Structure 1
Amino acid sequence: MATRSGVKAAYRPTPARGRPAALIALRNLKMARSAHAYVRGNTTRFYEWLDSLESHTLPEGPPIWICGDCHVGNLGPIASTRGHVEIQIRDLDQTVVGNPVHDLIRLGLSLATAARGSDLSGVIVATMMEQMMEGYERAFGNAREDADGTIESPECARVMMRQAWKRTWKNLARERIENTKPTIPLGKIFWPLSSEEKRAVKQLFADEAVARLATLLRSRDEGASVEVLDAAYWVKGCSSLGRLRVAVLLDIGRDSSSGNDLCLMDIKEAIQAAAPRYPAVKMPRDNGERIVEGARHLAPFLGERMRASRFLDRSVVLRELLPQDLKVEINQLTRDEAMKVARFLALVVGRAHARQMDASTCASWRLELQRNRSKTLDAPSWLWTSIVELVGRHERGYLEHCRRYAMDSATR
């Protein structure tokens, strides 16, 4: 027997009243899938561990907007409202005005964990850190606007960009909501909303300023009507599990016959960032406004498509999901691909940082990055020391996490 969405009746989506406990259990299981998944879902502990390290001193970089959670999965192709596509930072939940070094270490830890998951040697990991620094520093050169053409893209990035250009609404619908009909199917990924949440969705998109977000694309009329077709709680991600997350399907112009008339909107709760901010810097007090402001500086294509609002007295960020929005997926890395991935993704992060600095600041920051190099490693000693220590701590934490949360499920 099937429901209205075609989901077998044997699977029952979790109702709103049972959601918190179910999400915690699911998050713990997702983080147990691999050491890399544990890294992605552990931003808070990353900064706790980083703050506890005593064997090194991190340089104080210029105060700029940083990602705050700069792991591999938070980078990928992003589409602009005009149809352009670039690989940029795609998740800014942890963004703050802080030390750019934190993004470098977070990215380095993610790359090192991915490399070890691909059974690459420690020598390869060390070389990846060198390549990462080369890519990052390239963004701060005199001709940083031409930096894209100076570093070869890895195969995974080229494949993703080709996929992004070809994708349509049907691809997005099949991937995100499992069908192309104007409904959101309830099941493993989407759970029912409470009556209060359904009313809040309707009220939210009755706001003209919010509804206008759905008409930003060049293919839509600015004054077109916006109607809520369906909405559901979205069980998505790892670090965001447990927070309010709602998928909303909209009809633009009251005609759902084509992809351009349908809009899949993501409502995501904005909470306080775990990433440390520099003292005495100005940032929006509202977490949703903070995220949007950080996105405008770090990922302009994404920033122009985001809005901050309130939902059931919670700060939230809204954005339309586009078919071209993808994330970097790393399954198995070869030695050569590992080098290219490290260099290229660090360049992407470097460009996001560099666009916030004037020429003088770029030059001085690059000089600082080139300090503290040893004769055997062409990367700063503070970076390598941090990565080595954090890889060990994450591995211990991951194994303990598996013992505590995943063993019962694995033996059932």
Structure 2
Amino acid sequence: MTSFRVTRVLTAAVAAVLLLSPTPAAATEQHHGPAWVGSWSMSAELPNEFTFEPNWSEAGFDNHTVRQTVRVSTGGDALRVKLSNVYGSTPLRVSGAAVAKAAEGASVRPGTARPVTFGGSRSVTIPAGRELFSDPVWVRTSSLERLSVSLYFAQPTGPATFHAWASETAYRAVGDHRFARDGKAFTETTPSNYYLTAVDVVDFGNRARRAVVAFGDSLTDGSFSTLGADNRYPDELAERLVAAGKPMGVRNAGLAGNRMLDDSLCFGDKAVARFQRDVLDVAGVRTVIVSEGINDIIALTQTEWHPCGPGVPDLTAQRLIESHRELIRLAHARGLRIIGGTVLPYKGNPYEGVYSEEGEAIRDALNEWIRTSGEYDAVADFDRAVADPADPDEIRDEFDGGDKIHVNDAGYRAMAEAIDLATL
């Protein structure tokens, strides 16, 4: 047998082991099989146009290559990507995919592009309502390294499962440009993410490595952070872990506008409904940090006009607490640690009707329960980390993202610093 054929046979055999072994979390616990670890993610949502920037979700793609940049939180010897058609109404045909080391803009580093296969094939059809992992891609990555993932769609896709507020630029070109080194063909851009929902890594030298999932709303998603700068609080947390010599996978499961109690046409499934897919199914997950509730509180005064679905007119702190308890129950049933993040201030928002004294009382009561009940395994006091000492119901000016609800890059850094790394 030639050396080329031997290599192919060995590669196929190792890939089969990786793909057919127990789930990553179980494999890690049992000390056998591949220790896949979630290293990057975006939460999926319904195609919609309710964003402040144009996106391609409703129109979808036809003879287009979409190139997206991700920064892995921890590296490894191989990686796999996850593509999602959970909100598609028809099967999704992916004509081809590639991964490379990212350069400036839509460019990639010379000689780094690798094809991505699915069950040994360079193309794949993902049924409506399903997700799919690729085969292992044998490329070595480092912690905090930026990668480029290119997806080619030769046929019309229909409306696309996507993530509206990616805080990163996606690029589109007409035709198949998966392996293009420069970005000249990619003439269209959008700050959203399409179909790509996860990157996992496997490091054969560190089988005990685990992942933490940051689960929440726009303040986890990173709204108002600098586009393409990786300054969301989960990004800052990953940097802290690397600097401390404790590299863990950090997955961002934030979803702008997301609520605890209600599904939304624009802002995704409610927290409990998406917890399985966005947290419990994550490879190697050990800990989850929860930061949810402000959108339910804001929607308290927007029960009639809100275009993405009304809020809960009879909202109480107790109802929010019960939803948090359900997340705690689900996490503990899986053997995970779960950390409660307090809800940030929102007084001072310039838009009429957003802030209310009733809503503030609910926020205060929810935060008091998170801090003192002992039901969470630990607390990340995001509220006190960014609140104005002169008025704790407002975000400090130096952390304000511009609307007194969201924070800026410095505010996200303060949120990350509020997390005790020992609790992870």
TM-score bin (small chain): under 0.3
Name the TM-score, length of structure 1 as normaliser: 0.24
Name the TM-score, length of structure 2 as normaliser: 0.23
Greater strand proportion: 2
Greater helix proportion: 1
Which one scores higher on RCO, CA 8 angstroms, separation ≥ 6?
1
